[in-house]
Amino acid sequence: MMARIFSRWCLAGSVMLTLLFPIAATAGVNVEGVRIWPAPDHTRLVLDVANKVDHKVFALSGPSRLVIDLENTTLKADFDKLDLSGSPVKRIRSAPRNGNDLRVVLDLKSDIKPRSFQLEPNQQYGHRLVVDLIDEGGLKARKPSEPTVTENANGKRDIIVVVDAGHGGEDPGAIGPRGTREKDVVLRMSKTLAELIDAKPGYTARLTRTGDYYIDLRSRTLLARKHNADLFVSVHADAFRTPQPRGASVFALSQRGATSETARWLAKTENRSDLIGGAGGVSLDGRDDMLAGVLLDLSMTASINSSLGVGDSILGRLGSVAKLHKKGVEQAAFAVLKSPDIPSVLVEAGFISNPKEEQNLSSAWYREKLSQAVFRGIDDYFQKTPPPGTLLAWQKQNGRGDGSVSQYRIRRGDTLSGVARENQTTVSELMQYNGLNDDRVMVGQTIRIPAS
Protein backbone atom coordinates (compact mmCIF):
# COMPACT_ATOMS: atom_id res chain seq x y z
CA MET A 1 0.00 0.00 0.00
CA MET A 2 2.78 2.47 0.94
CA ALA A 3 4.56 1.76 -2.35
CA ARG A 4 1.34 2.39 -4.30
CA ILE A 5 0.69 5.70 -2.48
CA PHE A 6 4.30 6.79 -3.08
CA SER A 7 4.07 5.93 -6.77
CA ARG A 8 0.73 7.78 -7.21
CA TRP A 9 2.18 10.83 -5.41
CA CYS A 10 5.19 10.94 -7.74
CA LEU A 11 3.09 10.79 -10.90
CA ALA A 12 0.16 13.11 -10.01
CA GLY A 13 -0.32 16.22 -12.16
CA SER A 14 2.77 15.52 -14.28
CA VAL A 15 3.76 15.04 -17.88
CA MET A 16 5.81 11.89 -18.16
CA LEU A 17 8.73 11.31 -20.54
CA THR A 18 9.90 7.72 -20.27
CA LEU A 19 13.27 6.25 -21.23
CA LEU A 20 13.59 2.48 -21.07
CA PHE A 21 16.93 0.73 -20.72
CA PRO A 22 16.44 -3.05 -20.91
CA ILE A 23 19.27 -5.00 -19.31
CA ALA A 24 19.42 -8.72 -18.68
CA ALA A 25 17.72 -9.51 -15.38
CA THR A 26 19.87 -10.21 -12.34
CA ALA A 27 19.16 -11.64 -8.92
CA GLY A 28 19.21 -9.25 -5.94
CA VAL A 29 21.37 -6.14 -6.55
CA ASN A 30 22.56 -3.69 -3.89
CA VAL A 31 23.22 0.02 -4.42
CA GLU A 32 26.44 0.22 -2.41
CA GLY A 33 27.58 3.78 -3.06
CA VAL A 34 26.70 7.03 -4.81
CA ARG A 35 28.65 9.95 -6.29
CA ILE A 36 27.68 13.14 -8.08
CA TRP A 37 29.81 15.14 -10.53
CA PRO A 38 28.45 18.63 -11.44
CA ALA A 39 29.74 20.06 -14.74
CA PRO A 40 28.88 23.33 -16.55
CA ASP A 41 26.25 21.77 -18.85
CA HIS A 42 25.35 18.49 -17.14
CA THR A 43 25.50 16.67 -13.84
CA ARG A 44 26.46 12.99 -13.58
CA LEU A 45 24.93 10.83 -10.85
CA VAL A 46 26.67 7.47 -10.37
CA LEU A 47 25.26 4.54 -8.40
CA ASP A 48 27.69 1.79 -7.41
CA VAL A 49 25.85 -1.50 -7.92
CA ALA A 50 26.90 -5.06 -7.24
CA ASN A 51 26.00 -6.16 -10.78
CA LYS A 52 24.07 -5.03 -13.85
CA VAL A 53 20.59 -3.87 -12.96
CA ASP A 54 17.31 -3.55 -14.83
CA HIS A 55 16.19 0.05 -14.53
CA LYS A 56 13.85 2.69 -15.92
CA VAL A 57 14.40 6.44 -15.89
CA PHE A 58 11.77 9.11 -16.55
CA ALA A 59 11.45 12.85 -16.03
CA LEU A 60 8.45 14.62 -14.51
CA SER A 61 7.44 18.27 -14.53
CA GLY A 62 5.30 20.39 -12.20
CA PRO A 63 7.38 20.18 -10.03
CA SER A 64 10.56 19.03 -11.80
CA ARG A 65 11.67 15.55 -10.79
CA LEU A 66 13.60 12.58 -12.10
CA VAL A 67 12.52 9.07 -11.16
CA ILE A 68 14.86 6.08 -11.26
CA ASP A 69 13.21 2.68 -10.84
CA LEU A 70 15.56 -0.23 -10.16
CA GLU A 71 14.26 -3.80 -10.27
CA ASN A 72 15.09 -6.30 -7.54
CA THR A 73 17.36 -3.78 -5.82
CA THR A 74 18.12 -2.82 -2.21
CA LEU A 75 19.58 0.52 -1.10
CA LYS A 76 22.71 0.26 1.07
CA ALA A 77 24.09 3.76 0.32
CA ASP A 78 23.21 6.98 2.17
CA PHE A 79 21.92 9.71 -0.14
CA ASP A 80 21.83 12.22 2.72
CA LYS A 81 25.63 12.37 2.82
CA LEU A 82 25.84 13.47 -0.83
CA ASP A 83 26.98 17.06 -1.49
CA LEU A 84 24.45 18.44 -3.99
CA SER A 85 25.94 21.94 -4.23
CA GLY A 86 26.57 23.05 -7.80
CA SER A 87 24.07 20.53 -9.17
CA PRO A 88 20.43 20.92 -10.31
CA VAL A 89 19.35 18.46 -7.58
CA LYS A 90 17.65 19.88 -4.47
CA ARG A 91 17.31 16.56 -2.64
CA ILE A 92 17.18 12.81 -3.24
CA ARG A 93 14.50 10.53 -1.80
CA SER A 94 14.04 6.78 -2.02
CA ALA A 95 11.57 4.07 -1.02
CA PRO A 96 10.96 0.35 -1.66
CA ARG A 97 8.53 -0.38 -4.47
CA ASN A 98 6.56 -3.51 -5.39
CA GLY A 99 8.26 -5.54 -2.70
CA ASN A 100 11.77 -6.07 -4.08
CA ASP A 101 12.23 -2.96 -6.25
CA LEU A 102 13.67 0.45 -5.39
CA ARG A 103 12.46 3.89 -6.47
CA VAL A 104 14.82 6.88 -6.29
CA VAL A 105 13.39 10.38 -6.81
CA LEU A 106 15.52 13.44 -7.53
CA ASP A 107 13.82 16.74 -6.73
CA LEU A 108 15.19 19.18 -9.31
CA LYS A 109 15.54 22.94 -9.56
CA SER A 110 14.41 22.87 -13.21
CA ASP A 111 13.51 20.43 -15.97
CA ILE A 112 16.40 18.41 -17.40
CA LYS A 113 16.92 15.82 -20.11
CA PRO A 114 17.98 12.45 -18.60
CA ARG A 115 20.30 9.86 -20.07
CA SER A 116 21.41 6.63 -18.41
CA PHE A 117 23.83 3.81 -19.15
CA GLN A 118 25.84 1.19 -17.27
CA LEU A 119 29.61 0.92 -16.92
CA GLU A 120 31.72 -2.18 -16.46
CA PRO A 121 34.24 -2.34 -13.56
CA ASN A 122 37.50 -0.47 -14.04
CA GLN A 123 40.70 -0.01 -12.04
CA GLN A 124 38.95 2.05 -9.35
CA TYR A 125 35.22 1.18 -9.40
CA GLY A 126 32.95 -1.83 -9.83
CA HIS A 127 29.68 -1.99 -11.79
CA ARG A 128 27.99 1.40 -12.08
CA LEU A 129 24.68 2.84 -13.19
CA VAL A 130 25.26 6.33 -14.62
CA VAL A 131 22.48 8.91 -14.92
CA ASP A 132 23.32 12.16 -16.72
CA LEU A 133 21.16 15.20 -16.03
CA ILE A 134 21.59 17.32 -19.15
CA ASP A 135 20.87 21.05 -18.92
CA GLU A 136 19.78 21.83 -22.48
CA GLY A 137 19.36 25.50 -21.58
CA GLY A 138 22.97 25.58 -20.42
CA LEU A 139 24.14 23.93 -23.62
CA LYS A 140 22.37 26.52 -25.76
CA ALA A 141 23.69 29.35 -23.60
CA ARG A 142 27.33 28.46 -24.21
CA LYS A 143 28.26 30.88 -26.96
CA PRO A 144 31.58 30.79 -28.83
CA SER A 145 34.15 32.85 -26.94
CA GLU A 146 35.70 35.79 -28.74
CA PRO A 147 39.50 35.98 -28.81
CA THR A 148 40.88 38.40 -26.25
CA VAL A 149 42.13 41.63 -27.85
CA THR A 150 45.25 43.19 -26.39
CA GLU A 151 45.22 46.87 -25.49
CA ASN A 152 48.47 47.61 -27.26
CA ALA A 153 49.83 47.05 -30.76
CA ASN A 154 46.78 48.58 -32.44
CA GLY A 155 44.36 46.04 -30.98
CA LYS A 156 45.99 42.88 -32.36
CA ARG A 157 44.42 39.72 -30.99
CA ASP A 158 45.91 37.13 -28.67
CA ILE A 159 46.85 33.60 -29.68
CA ILE A 160 44.21 31.30 -28.12
CA VAL A 161 45.52 28.06 -26.63
CA VAL A 162 42.90 25.59 -25.37
CA VAL A 163 44.34 23.33 -22.66
CA ASP A 164 42.53 20.04 -22.12
CA ALA A 165 42.95 18.06 -18.89
CA GLY A 166 42.25 14.46 -19.81
CA HIS A 167 39.67 12.21 -18.11
CA GLY A 168 37.81 13.59 -15.05
CA GLY A 169 34.82 12.73 -12.87
CA GLU A 170 33.90 9.08 -13.03
CA ASP A 171 36.85 8.46 -15.39
CA PRO A 172 40.01 8.52 -13.24
CA GLY A 173 42.36 7.69 -16.11
CA ALA A 174 45.42 5.68 -15.18
CA ILE A 175 46.19 5.04 -11.51
CA GLY A 176 49.76 4.81 -10.20
CA PRO A 177 51.14 2.19 -7.77
CA ARG A 178 50.59 4.61 -4.84
CA GLY A 179 47.05 5.44 -5.94
CA THR A 180 47.78 8.72 -7.74
CA ARG A 181 45.02 9.35 -10.28
CA GLU A 182 45.81 10.65 -13.73
CA LYS A 183 42.74 12.92 -13.79
CA ASP A 184 44.00 14.84 -10.72
CA VAL A 185 47.58 15.21 -11.92
CA VAL A 186 46.67 16.46 -15.39
CA LEU A 187 44.07 18.94 -14.09
CA ARG A 188 46.65 20.55 -11.79
CA MET A 189 49.23 20.62 -14.59
CA SER A 190 46.70 22.04 -17.07
CA LYS A 191 45.79 24.86 -14.69
CA THR A 192 49.47 25.69 -14.22
CA LEU A 193 50.04 25.65 -17.98
CA ALA A 194 47.03 27.93 -18.50
CA GLU A 195 48.40 30.38 -15.93
CA LEU A 196 51.75 30.46 -17.72
CA ILE A 197 50.05 31.08 -21.05
CA ASP A 198 47.91 33.90 -19.62
CA ALA A 199 50.99 35.49 -18.04
CA LYS A 200 52.63 36.07 -21.44
CA PRO A 201 51.28 39.09 -23.36
CA GLY A 202 49.95 37.98 -26.72
CA TYR A 203 48.46 34.73 -25.38
CA THR A 204 45.17 33.68 -23.80
CA ALA A 205 44.43 30.23 -22.37
CA ARG A 206 41.10 28.44 -22.12
CA LEU A 207 40.52 25.21 -20.16
CA THR A 208 38.13 22.50 -21.39
CA ARG A 209 37.42 21.55 -17.77
CA THR A 210 38.14 23.48 -14.59
CA GLY A 211 36.99 20.85 -12.09
CA ASP A 212 36.59 17.15 -11.47
CA TYR A 213 33.98 16.24 -14.06
CA TYR A 214 33.99 14.36 -17.36
CA ILE A 215 33.65 15.81 -20.86
CA ASP A 216 33.25 13.44 -23.78
CA LEU A 217 36.08 13.45 -26.30
CA ARG A 218 34.17 15.06 -29.16
CA SER A 219 32.94 17.87 -26.91
CA ARG A 220 36.55 18.73 -26.03
CA THR A 221 37.39 19.45 -29.66
CA LEU A 222 34.08 21.29 -30.10
CA LEU A 223 35.01 23.52 -27.16
CA ALA A 224 38.31 24.31 -28.88
CA ARG A 225 36.40 25.37 -31.99
CA LYS A 226 33.98 27.49 -29.94
CA HIS A 227 36.95 29.29 -28.40
CA ASN A 228 38.42 29.94 -31.89
CA ALA A 229 41.57 28.12 -30.77
CA ASP A 230 44.89 28.52 -32.55
CA LEU A 231 46.19 25.43 -30.72
CA PHE A 232 44.66 22.56 -28.74
CA VAL A 233 46.86 20.85 -26.12
CA SER A 234 45.53 17.73 -24.35
CA VAL A 235 47.46 16.79 -21.20
CA HIS A 236 47.70 13.16 -20.04
CA ALA A 237 49.91 10.81 -18.00
CA ASP A 238 50.76 7.51 -19.66
CA ALA A 239 50.56 4.04 -18.15
CA PHE A 240 51.77 0.54 -18.96
CA ARG A 241 51.15 -2.92 -17.54
CA THR A 242 54.69 -3.04 -16.10
CA PRO A 243 56.45 -0.32 -14.04
CA GLN A 244 59.58 -0.05 -16.21
CA PRO A 245 58.52 2.29 -19.07
CA ARG A 246 59.06 5.98 -18.39
CA GLY A 247 59.45 9.31 -20.13
CA ALA A 248 57.37 12.11 -21.62
CA SER A 249 55.87 11.92 -25.12
CA VAL A 250 54.09 14.19 -27.58
CA PHE A 251 51.53 12.92 -30.10
CA ALA A 252 49.92 14.41 -33.20
CA LEU A 253 47.15 12.92 -35.34
CA SER A 254 48.19 10.18 -37.74
CA GLN A 255 47.43 10.41 -41.45
CA ARG A 256 45.27 7.30 -41.13
CA GLY A 257 43.23 9.02 -38.45
CA ALA A 258 42.92 12.07 -40.66
CA THR A 259 41.50 9.99 -43.50
CA SER A 260 38.77 8.54 -41.31
CA GLU A 261 38.00 11.96 -39.86
CA THR A 262 37.56 13.48 -43.31
CA ALA A 263 34.96 10.81 -44.08
CA ARG A 264 33.17 11.49 -40.80
CA TRP A 265 32.98 15.21 -41.47
CA LEU A 266 31.64 14.64 -44.96
CA ALA A 267 29.00 12.25 -43.61
CA LYS A 268 27.76 14.66 -40.91
CA THR A 269 25.54 17.30 -42.47
CA GLU A 270 25.93 19.67 -39.51
CA ASN A 271 29.69 19.76 -40.09
CA ARG A 272 29.40 20.95 -43.67
CA SER A 273 28.30 24.44 -42.66
CA ASP A 274 31.20 24.87 -40.23
CA LEU A 275 34.08 27.07 -41.30
CA ILE A 276 37.41 25.39 -41.93
CA GLY A 277 40.18 27.58 -40.58
CA GLY A 278 37.97 29.77 -38.42
CA ALA A 279 36.82 33.25 -39.36
CA GLY A 280 37.46 34.00 -43.00
CA GLY A 281 38.01 30.33 -43.80
CA VAL A 282 36.29 28.05 -46.29
CA SER A 283 32.78 26.70 -45.70
CA LEU A 284 31.78 23.22 -46.84
CA ASP A 285 28.16 24.30 -47.11
CA GLY A 286 26.88 23.90 -50.66
CA ARG A 287 30.01 22.14 -51.88
CA ASP A 288 29.81 18.80 -53.64
CA ASP A 289 31.46 15.83 -51.95
CA MET A 290 34.55 15.84 -54.17
CA LEU A 291 35.37 19.51 -53.61
CA ALA A 292 34.45 19.31 -49.92
CA GLY A 293 36.74 16.30 -49.55
CA VAL A 294 39.64 18.13 -51.20
CA LEU A 295 39.14 21.18 -48.96
CA LEU A 296 38.99 19.01 -45.86
CA ASP A 297 42.10 17.06 -46.85
CA LEU A 298 44.04 20.27 -47.43
CA SER A 299 42.90 21.69 -44.10
CA MET A 300 43.63 18.46 -42.23
CA THR A 301 47.08 18.11 -43.81
CA ALA A 302 47.97 21.68 -42.85
CA SER A 303 46.66 21.08 -39.32
CA ILE A 304 48.74 17.90 -38.93
CA ASN A 305 51.88 19.61 -40.25
CA SER A 306 51.41 22.46 -37.77
CA SER A 307 50.76 19.92 -35.00
CA LEU A 308 54.01 18.15 -35.80
CA GLY A 309 55.84 21.47 -35.78
CA VAL A 310 54.56 22.61 -32.40
CA GLY A 311 54.96 19.08 -31.02
CA ASP A 312 58.61 19.07 -32.04
CA SER A 313 59.14 22.43 -30.30
CA ILE A 314 57.50 21.11 -27.11
CA LEU A 315 59.64 17.95 -27.16
CA GLY A 316 62.76 20.08 -27.54
CA ARG A 317 61.91 21.92 -24.33
CA LEU A 318 60.62 18.85 -22.43
CA GLY A 319 63.94 17.11 -23.01
CA SER A 320 65.65 19.64 -20.76
CA VAL A 321 63.52 18.79 -17.70
CA ALA A 322 62.38 15.18 -18.22
CA LYS A 323 63.45 11.95 -19.84
CA LEU A 324 61.79 11.51 -23.23
CA HIS A 325 60.06 8.23 -24.02
CA LYS A 326 60.60 8.84 -27.75
CA LYS A 327 62.80 11.51 -29.31
CA GLY A 328 60.34 12.37 -32.07
CA VAL A 329 56.68 13.35 -32.18
CA GLU A 330 54.55 10.21 -32.38
CA GLN A 331 51.35 9.95 -34.37
CA ALA A 332 48.14 8.12 -33.46
CA ALA A 333 44.39 8.36 -34.09
CA PHE A 334 43.44 9.94 -30.75
CA ALA A 335 39.86 11.24 -30.90
CA VAL A 336 40.75 14.53 -29.17
CA LEU A 337 43.25 15.36 -31.92
CA LYS A 338 40.76 15.02 -34.77
CA SER A 339 39.91 18.66 -35.42
CA PRO A 340 40.33 19.41 -39.14
CA ASP A 341 41.26 23.06 -38.68
CA ILE A 342 43.03 23.37 -35.30
CA PRO A 343 46.61 22.19 -34.72
CA SER A 344 46.31 19.67 -31.89
CA VAL A 345 48.84 17.82 -29.75
CA LEU A 346 48.58 15.36 -26.90
CA VAL A 347 51.28 15.61 -24.21
CA GLU A 348 51.98 12.53 -22.10
CA ALA A 349 53.71 14.08 -19.07
CA GLY A 350 55.22 10.74 -18.03
CA PHE A 351 54.32 7.21 -17.02
CA ILE A 352 52.19 7.32 -13.87
CA SER A 353 52.65 3.52 -13.72
CA ASN A 354 56.37 4.09 -13.06
CA PRO A 355 56.90 4.62 -9.28
CA LYS A 356 59.53 7.34 -9.73
CA GLU A 357 57.53 9.25 -12.32
CA GLU A 358 54.37 8.88 -10.23
CA GLN A 359 56.26 10.54 -7.38
CA ASN A 360 57.49 13.30 -9.71
CA LEU A 361 54.04 13.95 -11.16
CA SER A 362 52.65 14.27 -7.62
CA SER A 363 55.07 17.14 -7.00
CA ALA A 364 53.89 20.71 -7.72
CA TRP A 365 57.51 21.70 -8.41
CA TYR A 366 57.93 19.03 -11.09
CA ARG A 367 54.56 19.77 -12.71
CA GLU A 368 55.54 23.47 -12.82
CA LYS A 369 58.78 22.56 -14.62
CA LEU A 370 56.92 20.40 -17.12
CA SER A 371 54.33 23.13 -17.72
CA GLN A 372 57.04 25.74 -18.26
CA ALA A 373 58.72 23.45 -20.80
CA VAL A 374 55.45 22.88 -22.66
CA PHE A 375 54.69 26.60 -22.81
CA ARG A 376 58.20 27.51 -23.93
CA GLY A 377 57.85 24.97 -26.72
CA ILE A 378 54.52 26.52 -27.72
CA ASP A 379 56.04 30.01 -27.63
CA ASP A 380 59.08 28.90 -29.64
CA TYR A 381 56.78 27.68 -32.39
CA PHE A 382 54.50 30.71 -32.50
CA GLN A 383 57.41 33.17 -32.36
CA LYS A 384 58.57 31.61 -35.64
CA THR A 385 55.13 31.14 -37.23
CA PRO A 386 52.57 33.42 -35.54
CA PRO A 387 48.98 33.29 -36.84
CA PRO A 388 48.01 36.29 -38.98
CA GLY A 389 46.34 39.15 -37.12
CA THR A 390 47.88 38.32 -33.75
CA LEU A 391 50.08 40.48 -31.56
CA LEU A 392 53.01 38.11 -32.15
CA ALA A 393 52.58 38.42 -35.93
CA TRP A 394 52.52 42.23 -35.60
CA GLN A 395 55.65 42.16 -33.44
CA LYS A 396 57.48 39.92 -35.89
CA GLN A 397 56.47 42.05 -38.85
CA ASN A 398 57.69 45.19 -37.08
CA GLY A 399 60.89 43.62 -35.77
CA ARG A 400 59.71 43.48 -32.15
CA GLY A 401 59.09 39.76 -31.69
CA ASP A 402 62.51 38.44 -30.73
CA GLY A 403 64.20 41.73 -29.96
CA SER A 404 65.92 42.98 -26.86
CA VAL A 405 62.90 42.88 -24.57
CA SER A 406 60.00 40.62 -23.70
CA GLN A 407 57.13 41.03 -21.27
CA TYR A 408 55.78 38.93 -18.42
CA ARG A 409 52.43 39.22 -16.62
CA ILE A 410 52.71 38.52 -12.87
CA ARG A 411 50.52 35.67 -11.61
CA ARG A 412 49.62 34.42 -8.15
CA GLY A 413 52.64 33.12 -6.22
CA ASP A 414 55.25 34.96 -8.33
CA THR A 415 58.14 36.86 -6.76
CA LEU A 416 60.54 39.17 -8.55
CA SER A 417 63.43 36.93 -7.55
CA GLY A 418 61.63 33.92 -9.03
CA VAL A 419 60.91 35.75 -12.29
CA ALA A 420 64.54 36.88 -12.44
CA ARG A 421 65.79 33.32 -11.88
CA GLU A 422 63.48 31.86 -14.56
CA ASN A 423 64.64 34.47 -17.08
CA GLN A 424 68.36 34.24 -16.21
CA THR A 425 68.64 37.82 -14.97
CA THR A 426 68.87 39.57 -11.59
CA VAL A 427 66.37 41.30 -9.32
CA SER A 428 68.34 44.55 -9.45
CA GLU A 429 68.37 44.49 -13.25
CA LEU A 430 64.60 43.92 -13.37
CA MET A 431 64.02 46.73 -10.86
CA GLN A 432 66.18 49.12 -12.85
CA TYR A 433 64.67 48.08 -16.21
CA ASN A 434 61.11 48.58 -14.94
CA GLY A 435 61.71 51.65 -12.75
CA LEU A 436 60.76 49.77 -9.56
CA ASN A 437 61.60 51.19 -6.13
CA ASP A 438 61.47 47.79 -4.42
CA ASP A 439 61.05 44.10 -5.27
CA ARG A 440 57.30 43.95 -4.63
CA VAL A 441 55.05 42.97 -7.56
CA MET A 442 51.28 42.60 -7.90
CA VAL A 443 49.18 39.94 -9.63
CA GLY A 444 48.30 41.14 -13.13
CA GLN A 445 51.24 43.57 -13.28
CA THR A 446 53.22 43.40 -16.57
CA ILE A 447 56.97 43.81 -16.34
CA ARG A 448 59.55 44.10 -19.10
CA ILE A 449 62.37 41.56 -19.20
CA PRO A 450 65.65 42.28 -21.01
CA ALA A 451 67.07 39.62 -23.29
CA SER A 452 69.51 37.28 -21.57
pLDDT tens-digit readout, 46-105: 999 999 999 999 999 999 999 999 999 999 999 999 999 999 999 999 999 988 999 999
CATH tag, 2-140: 2.60.40.3500
Q: Please give, one letter per residue, the 3-state secondary structure of 343-394.
A: CEEEEEEEECCCHHHHHHHCCHHHHHHHHHHHHHHHHHHHHHCCCCCEHHHH
N-terminal to C-terminal alpha carbon distance within the chain = 82
Give the tens place of pLDDT for each residue, 18-38.
444 444 444 589 999 999 999
More confident residue, 334 or 130: 130
Nearest to 209 by CA among 230, 181, 189, 228: 189
pLDDT at 255 over 70: yes
Separation between Cα atoms, residue 354 and residue 247, nearest integer Å: 9
The DSSP call for residue 157 is: B
Average pLDDT over residues 255-264: 55
More confident residue, 285 or 50: 50
pLDDT at 366 over 80: yes
pLDDT at 191 over 80: yes
Window from 122-131, 169-178, 389-398 with minimum mean pLDDT: 389-398
Window from 79-93, 139-153, 307-321 with minimum mean pLDDT: 139-153
Give the tens place of pLDDT for each residue, 147-164.
444 444 457 899 999 999
What is the band of 442 on the pLDDT scale with cuts at 50, 70, 90?
confident
Separation between Cα atoms, residue 405 and residue 143, nearest integer Å: 37
pTM for this entry? 0.74
Separation between Cα atoms, residue 297 and residue 321, nearest integer Å: 36
Report helix, strand and coil shares of the chain as percent, to nearest 5: 35, 30, 40
Nearest to 195 by CA among 343, 383, 203: 203
Predicted local distance difference test score (pLDDT) of residue 151: 44
Average pLDDT over residues 288-310: 71
* Contact residues for 31 (Cβ-Cβ < 8 A; gap 6+): 47, 48, 49, 70, 73, 74, 75, 76, 77, 102
Window from 2-16, 60-74, 220-234, 430-444 with minimum mean pLDDT: 2-16
pLDDT at 413 over 50: yes
Query: Helix (H, G, I), strand (E, B), or coil: what is residue 97?
Result: strand
Window from 118-122, 285-289, 319-323, 325-329 with minimum mean pLDDT: 285-289
pLDDT at 426 over 60: yes
Average pLDDT over residues 444-448: 81
Widest distance between CA atoms in the chain = 83
pLDDT at 242 over 60: yes
Domain 143-397 and domain 405-450 have a common topology: no
Which CATH topology does 405-450 take?
A: Membrane-bound Lytic Murein Transglycosylase D; Chain A (3.10.350)
Predicted local distance difference test score (pLDDT) of residue 287: 55
pLDDT at 409 over 80: yes
CB burial of residue 412 (10 Å; 0-12, 13-18, 19+): exposed
The per-residue pLDDT of the chain, averaged, comes to 81
Asked if 331 contacts 252 with a C-beta cutoff of 8 angstroms, the reply is yes
More confident residue, 376 or 449: 376
Query: Helix (H, G, I), strand (E, B), or coil: what is residue 395?
Result: helix
Domain locations in the chain? 2-140, 143-397, 405-450
What is the band of 399 on the pLDDT scale with cuts at 50, 70, 90?
low
Q: Could you say which of 3.40.109.10, 3.30.420.40, 3.40.630.40, 3.90.198.10 is the CATH number of the domain covering 143-397?
A: 3.40.630.40
String of DSSP letters for 300-341: HHHHHHHHHHHHHHHHHHHTTTS-BS-SS-EEE--GGG--SS
